Structure 1
Amino acid sequence: MKLFYTLLLSTLFHLGFAQSADQYFEKIRNNEAALTAFFTQMPKGGDLHHHYSGSIYAEPLLAHAIAQDLYLNTQNMTVSPEKQIGADWVSFSTLQMNGELDTYKQKIMQKWSVKDYNNVDYPSDKLFFESFMKLEPALKDNFEAGLLELKNRAIKENLSYIETQLSPIPCAIKTDDLANYNTYLRKLVANKNEKAVMKSLDSLYSIFIKKDAKKYATDFNTNFVGKMHNELKIDDIQFTMRYQNFVLRFMEPVEIFKNLVVAFISADSSQLIAGVNIVSPEDGETSMKDYELHMLMFKYCHSRFPKVKYTLHAGELTLGLVRPEELSWHINAAVYTAGANRIGHGVDIAYEEKSYDLMRYMAKNKIPIEINLVSNEFILKVKENRHPILLYKEFEVPIIISTDDAGILRTNMTEQYVLLAKRYPIISYTDIKQFVYNSINYSFIQDTSVKKQLVQDLDNRFKTFEANFKN
């Protein structure tokens, strides 16, 4: 009789009964369709590495551009609210009248996103980063629709939180009279004179405060982020959103520092602004030349605003993209010099100097790594065992799974987890569940009660999800 019941339970298990979520997960991990269904329904916590401008799908942006009758450059698919010089600029209404609109719609989709990309005819990293410039005019005056799109998609995908990099803060403070600081700061960094760098930044900070930098931060917080967030009722029982300020790497030192000061003031004075970041291609000429200076700028701003959290794009590099020696220090500088609270991408960790010590430090000090599998594969061609996710896991660095730019990359959070399960059999359901909780626990939400509520909500969501496999 005992043997009979053992055989019966075994039969029921193989038929799909009396199994746990992790058992079912292991059974389907080589079946992409089954994994997609599983992860679509699984609670996914938060998306912490998220660019608003790259997360809106091209279709609604194109529809908005047509409705606003913007002008299209028919050669490079850039749009503009005003007709520019040259015969290549044509209004959408003219294209429609000439019967050419459908043809250009397809071309636009291929330049504003990775749709139909064939991995041959254009560098993938150029296509990705150039997309932002081309579609930017279609984003303006359309933030409300975009935020609602992101919220509604997140809810359908069982994502309860997004921490998005929404928009640069407009700041009209003129810096022409401070241009001499650009050369001087670079010279100080070249001479490894950190003390003098900090003194110069202190002088610039005083100038920007006197020029009313706080006014621009307050206006952004109140009349843009706060107004829009509250009027749209973004936060509710199902979903929460917070915002990261960001600065652009390719600007001259004085200009980027001005924007960084305003960004930190903004984050320090609003609970909706979760933190600060730095963006644009890390391998760009100015980005590479001024990388160490940028890290010192973050260190200085932290001394002024110690409560403000910041995550840094660091190590979004790979062999061949830059010289080998440039792969050895960017994450080190972001962690040790800038004091980043999280690291975005971190793809070149295996090339970093004393990488084992660096990862031990990140693990000990709870500095998570934001992993973006689809993004790293498309932009850097880094995937599977070339990707360092298992290296981070081995050294117990907290891992967070993110989308990066779901609209341009035409992906979603579910696909990140499907790739994770398919490519890395050593990563268990328990690991994945921890990654999900990490996305809330390591978020930059300032209000502890909001974070606590999101964790409790995640508990309830997982309880409901896992009950499916016990029935």
Structure 2
Amino acid sequence: MGHLKTLIGATVLAASLGLASAAAAAPDLAAMSAGERIAFTKAMPKGGELHNHISGAVFPETLLAWAAEDGRCVDVPKLALAPPPCDRPGLRPAAEAIVDGELYSDLLNSFSTRQPGFLGRSGHDQFFGVFDRIGGLGPGRGGDMLAVVMDDLAHQNTFYLEAMITPQGGPAAALGLKVGLKDDLAQMKAEIDAAGLPDLVRAAIAGTDAMEARARQVLACGKPAARPGCQVTIRYLVQTIRVLPPEATFAQLQLGVALVQADKRWVGLQMVAPEDHPTALANYGLHMQMVGFLTGRGQLAPVALHAGELTFDYAPPEHLRDHIAQAVRVAGARRIGHGVDLPHEIGAEALVAEMARDGILVEVNLTSNSVILELGPEEHPYGWLRDRGVPVSLSTDDAGLLRIDLSHEYERAHAYGATYEDLKRSARNALAFSFLVGEGLWADPGRYRQPVRACRGQIGASAPRAACAALVASSDKAREQWRHEALLAAFEAAAAPARRR
């Protein structure tokens, strides 16, 4: 907590000097050099990250080091990890492979998108193929991955994460396949429950306990040498896989809803895997119906969906016409991941007006959209969404695979027309539109001009008072927002003298 106390202490000092508000002299990103912007966005409190796949968040150098420690193998022809024994044809021990300079470099390329056109693959194919190539690491490093991501965020002055993970994904899919696809979704749900879904919920909770215990161990939480990552608040989104047979996807979704209702650490549902995959395209409408049915259109479990991660290079026009509309209007999604095909949707202006009115946030992944879909600043709808009042928040998608961090995305947003006020709003949006429970600090989330009555005149103070203190104590969302506002005030106070030099 020392890092946080220091920043909050700076906030108190700044307030006493009359520096806590930077509104009169907002930082000008355009006037900064690239190096200055990088340092600035690295230090800036970014609220949190809402779109982070833990399996793709760790850099390949770390994955290979773990593979060597765990006695895993490298499949040399495939440039992939594999389970032992390593004396089979084409395999080498990972510990041996990583000291072979040429092979090590090829493995880093195979496990990331750092080398455009590696082995003749497009960015899209390289990106989505990585997960199979690193799957040989095995399931035992989930807690280590979580610790890496937590510590990385803390070093970027960011302390909230909604991590996407697939708990008990294989067993849940097996239940769905056993029951089979039914026209009557209620009947299918009942049969999957009877086939053993409650046991998988208990197993998922136990797995979460073990993963978090390992992360705390790695970070030395509760000890004098505790690392900054211990300060990060974690919540989880249940990843479900859209390229499986639909009955298997249904069972994963059903498990997700049950898990959200049973364990407050799990706060919502997601659907992942390539949206342009033939199975995903063929079943998209059915998937939206399934999500809407199982979640009561978001009433039983909050919904955030990958939707509209498409261009004409990867899908014909008919699939760019209504994916986001279905996610919002049929499935009840409160957040959309990527959403880059939104301008192509039928009635696009009406849809964005609806999203702005209802506070449906778009999770914006600039580097991911550039690498996978080749969308640069001129083609990306980020500026259009922002100008139409749709809440947006910057995120990484798969930071390790893309070789970026969250600060990189904040710096990159300058090329897409973002101002400092846009970045500050993105950071606040990451908490206001999170799936944390409880009332927030703001009466106007997305605008941030009007705190709730209990906290008026107190935002950015060192400690809440009276009714505001009661709100912060009782609400997970208000507590995280209060911490962020204190960090933001300290950051702006510290940045002001540097801008005057």
Does the pair score TM above 0.5? Answer: yes
1:47-62 aligned at under 5 Å gives the runs 47-62=49-64
Judged with a 3 Å threshold, the aligned counterparts in structure 2 of structure 1 residues 237 and 280 are, in CA distance, closer, same or farther, namely: closer
Matched, 1:467 2:484: no
Give the equivalent residue in structure 2 for 1:245. 238
Partner of 1:354: 347
Distance 1:92 1:412, change over 3 A: closer
When structure 1 is superposed on structure 2, of 452-461 and 169-178 the one drifting more is: 169-178
Q: The residue matched to 1:377 in structure 2 has which SS? A: helix
- Which of 371, 377, 385 aligns to 1:392? It is 385
Q: 2 CA distance for matches of 1:298 and 1:19? A: 43
Say if 1:295 and 1:176 are closer, same or farther in 2 by CA, change over 3 A.
Answer: closer
- Cα displacement (A) at 1:431: 2.3
Contact 1:313 1:343 in 2 (8 A): yes
TM-score (norm 1): 0.86
Match of residue 74 from structure 1: 76
Distance in 2 (alpha carbons) for counterparts of 1:348 and 1:388? 8
Identity of aligned residues (%): 26
Distance 1:69 1:208, change over 3 A: same
Deviates more, 1:18-27 or 1:310-319: 18-27
Instruction: Give the match's secondary structure for 1:320.
Output: coil
Q: Distance in 2 between matches of 1:52 and 1:447?
A: 25
| Cα distance in 2 for residues equivalent to 1:287 and 1:85 | 38
Equivalent pair of 2:364/2:395 in contact (CA under 8 Å): yes
The TM-score, its normalising length taken from structure 2, stands at 0.81
Amino acid at match of 2:358: N
Instruction: Quote the residue 1:164 is aligned against.
Output: 163
Q: Pairwise CA RMSD of aligned residues?
A: 2.5
Unaligned segments of structure 2, at least 5 residues = 1-18, 222-228, 440-474
Instruction: Please give the alpha-carbon distance, in whole angstroms, between the structure 2 residues aligned to 1:470 and 1:60.
Output: 37
- Aligned counterpart in structure 1 of residue 276 of structure 2, from 283, 299, 303: 283
Which of 390, 410, 417 lines up with 2:410 in the alignment? 417
Give runs of aligned pairs for residues 92-107 of structure 1, distance below 5 A: 92=94, 95=97, 101-107=100-106
Larger Rg: 1
Instruction: Please state whether the residue corresponding to 2:288 is helix, strand or coil.
Output: helix
Between stretches 414-423 and 304-313, larger displacement belongs to 304-313
Write out aligned runs for 1:137-152 (5 A).
Answer: 137-138=136-137, 140-152=139-151
Q: Which amino acid aligns with 1:229?
A: E
Q: How many residues align?
A: 432
1:24 Cα shift?
6.2
Q: Which consecutive segments of 4 or more residues in structure 1 shift more than 6 A?
A: 234-237
CA distance in 1, matches of 2:318, 2:284: 14
459, 481, 484: which one aligns with 1:458: 484
Which letter maps to 2:247?
V
Residue 327 (str. 1) matches residue 327 (str. 2):
no
- 1:380 equivalent to 2:377? Answer no
> 2:410 & 2:386 partners in 1: Cα distance?
15
Cα 1:128/1:22, change in 2 over 3 Å: farther
Shift of the 206–239 alpha-carbon distance from structure 1 to 2, 3 Å rule, reads same
Shift of 1:92: 3.0
Task: Give the secondary structure class of the aligned counterpart of 1:209.
Answer: helix
Q: 1:210 aligns with which of 187, 190, 194?
A: 194
Does the 8 Å contact 1:53/1:136 carry over to 2? no
Matched residue of 2:360: which SS? coil
Structure 1 residue 225 and structure 2 residue 225: aligned? no
Could you say which residue in structure 1 is the equivalent of 2:467? Answer: none
Question: What is the CA deviation profile of residues 402-429 of structure 1, one whole-angstrom value per residue up to 9, with x for unaligned ones?
Answer: 11100000001111111112331xx332
Structure 1 portions without partners, runs of 5+: 1-16, 186-196
Q: Displacement, 1:118?
A: 5.0
Q: Is the 8 A contact 1:372 1:403 kept in 2?
A: yes
Distance 1:62 1:390 in 2: 38
Equivalent residues of 2:297, 2:332 under 8 A apart: no
Using a 3 Å threshold, how does the CA distance of structure 1 residues 414 and 21 change in structure 2: closer, same or farther?
farther
Within 1, Cα distance between the matches of 2:165 and 2:63?
Answer: 16
Cα deviation, 1:141-172, whole Å, max 9, x if unaligned, reads 11222111111111111111110112342426
* Distance of 2:149 and 2:409 partners within structure 1: 17
- Tell me how far 1:329 sits from its aligned partner: 1.1
CA distance in structure 2 between the partners assigned to 1:356 and 1:25 by the alignment: 32
Residue pairs, 1:264-279, within 5 angstroms? 264-279=257-272
Q: Is the 8 A contact 1:72 1:80 kept in 2?
A: yes
CA deviation vs aligned residue, 1:155-192 (integer Å, no higher than 9, x gap): 1111111101123424265455544x3xxx6xxxxxxx
Please list the CA deviations of residues 429-453 of structure 1 after superposition, one character each: whole Å capped at 9, or x if unmatched.
2222111101001111235522111
From the superposition, tell whether residues 276 and 86 of structure 1 become closer, same or farther in structure 2 (CA, over 3 Å): same
